Amino acid sequence: MRFAPDVILDLTPLPDGVGGVPFTELLNGLLREGFEPEGSRRVLEAARARLGPGLLRPEGVDDGGFLVESPVLFPEQGAWWWVLQQGEERWRTHLAVEDVSVVAEFLRATARASTLEEVREAWPFDESGWRDSLFAAGPHPTPWVEPSGPGIYRREHASVLIRSRTTSVLVDPIALQRRMNHIGQAPGNLAHGPPDAVAITHGHVDHWHLPSMLSHLTDASVPVLVPRVPRPNLLTMQDFAQVLSRCGQRALALPWGETVHVGDIRVDVLPFYGEQPAPDGPPLVEGLRSWGNCYRFTTEDFSCLLLVDSGTDPEGRMEAVVERSRREQGPVDVVLSCQREFLSPFFGGLSHYWAALPWRRLRELYADHLAGRLRSATAGPAGVAEVCAVAGARWFLPYANGFEGVGRAIQDVGWGLGEPSEAACGAAVRDHLRTLGVDTEVVEWSPGDVARFECGELRLDAAR
């Protein structure tokens, strides 16, 4: 059984305090004032008068410090919530910690069930909340292709299935994150059953969605590889391993540089540099970071670097990470990466990032932004080409650029914001590769396609 495509659901611990800060509204106000001190202070003071004390710090404009209070930078974990919505009907239930594993098991049971009656028996809430319409029987009208043999199977947005001869690892599933454009069209379950492991890259909502993950994990013993989080903070609000533990799911929070074997797939956990509040300059306050992992997967038939939204930040550069990986293991066959550019901290999709920077640094970055000097927090086409060159990659496969349906090419890597198509971004990568004198081949593919590897060559099977 699967959830109906119009159902929105979530299972999450919400941090105390942070939810009360209107980050997007404040960012827009600061941009409207051009980050000039007097106007910016008025924006912050008006918001503090409305929200109350303990969240905003307008005096940061005067002393050059943070514009939010410490509990916003390092929030305490709040209550767990189960959210279920269909049309105008919405259920929002506060969960006791001991009940979280019960809801998690219901999500697993839904994936295992073959009839509506089985799902209903597993329903852990009051009977009045039950609706047959929440669930859809039978296979998805456009299911993912049945995995058969080694390859990289492209799924929704940043989700891929890495398949060796015997084993599969699923990365960043978000098929039930229906608040995002077109995700309701994504098949909700894998055709061949649960993967042997799941790997999570980082905590943004287009990569980490607990219900989506649990709906693929019918067995709580299946390991989930997650970033290690030294301390939850504004940029990583959840300790992934702790959250999974509450759900009764096995988690592996390995440090950067560690290696784990899943069946016959070697998985190297690599640093995730990039997509932080600033691409350069002084480091952030200790403990304040969007914690994430990049991965190198090695099978008997191919190897690939999965670099997601990474790039450069004050703590490091992905080119150095990839150079070390190549030095230790040799060239890689495939690089997978997002091609979109984020002008952090003024990118609306990460509208809370400005709050992780002191006023003095915000003013510097805004001046760079106005002058066209602000660098992207992600690699972008130029950075992708440089990484491919360092990796000695034979092929580049774009991904994490959105989702517009199975078998449909990505026409807007900005998820409807009017940004270039994936093909146009690929052409830009080719131009940069040509300038560097690198012969990495840029492959155009769509969600549902499979990159297969036979006799050392890549063959693309298009979605049917």
At 361-382, the pLDDT tens digits run 999 999 999 999 999 999 999 9
DSSP 141-206: SSPPPPP-SSEEEE-STT-EEEE-SS-EEEE---TT-TTSTTGGGS-SS-TT---SEEE--B-STT
Q: How far apart are CA 158 and CA 400, in angstroms?
A: 4
Residue showing tokens 């699923």: 170
Q: Is the pLDDT of residue 188 over 90?
A: no
* Contact between residue 118 and residue 51 where contact means Cβ atoms under 8 Å apart: no
Residues 6+ apart with CB under 8 A from 305: 270, 294, 295, 296, 322, 325, 332, 334, 335, 336, 387, 391, 393
Q: How far apart are CA 165 and CA 10, in angstroms?
A: 34
Query: What residues are paired with 171 via a beta bridge?
Result: 160, 199
Q: Which of the 8 DSSP states describes residue 108?
A: H
Share of the chain above pLDDT 90, in %: 84
Residue 216 lies in a domain: yes
Banded model confidence at residue 189, pLDDT cuts 50, 70, 90? low
At 214-245, the pLDDT tens digits run 999 988 999 999 999 999 999 999 999 999 99
14-23, 108-117, 392-401, 440-449: least confidently modelled range: 14-23
Neighbouring C-alpha atoms within 13 Å toward the C-beta of 451: 29
- Residue 425 tokens, joined: 């971004």
Residue 98 lies in a domain: no
- pTM, two decimals, is 0.96
Q: Quick one: how many helices (H) and strands (E) in the chain? A: 12, 22
Of 376, 387, 172, nearest in space to 274 by CA: 376
Residue 27 lies in a domain: no
What crossing angle do the helices spanning 380-391 and 422-436 adopt, rounded to 10°? 50
Residue 129 lies in a domain: no
Between strands 265-271 and 259-262, the pairing is antiparallel
The confidence score (pLDDT) of residue 129 equals: 86
Q: Is the pLDDT of residue 341 over 90?
A: yes
Report which of residues 363 and 143 the model is more confident about: 363
- Residue 81 tokens, joined: 């919530």
Of 301, 333, 318, nearest in space to 256 by CA: 318
The confidence score (pLDDT) of residue 57 equals: 98
Q: Is the pLDDT of residue 191 over 70?
A: no
Residue 3 lies in a domain: no
- Residue 355 tokens, joined: 């709050």
Q: How far apart are CA 109 and CA 233, in angstroms?
A: 32
Q: Which of the 8 DSSP states describes residue 393?
A: -
37-46, 89-98, 159-168, 361-370: least confidently modelled range: 89-98
* Contact between residue 83 and residue 9 where contact means Cβ atoms under 8 Å apart: yes
Q: Is the pLDDT of residue 111 over 90?
A: no
Residue 265 lies in a domain: yes
Q: Is the pLDDT of residue 192 over 80?
A: no
Domains of the chain: total: 1
CATH of the domain at 382: 3.60.15.10
Of 216, 429, 261, nearest in space to 336 by CA: 429
Classified as helix, coil or strand, 95 is strand
Q: How far apart are CA 208 and CA 202, in angstroms?
A: 7
Residue 77 lies in a domain: no
The confidence score (pLDDT) of residue 14 equals: 87
Residue 183 lies in a domain: yes
Report which of residues 202 and 141 the model is more confident about: 202
Neighbouring C-alpha atoms within 13 Å toward the C-beta of 265: 28
Domain range for 252 is: 148-341+376-461
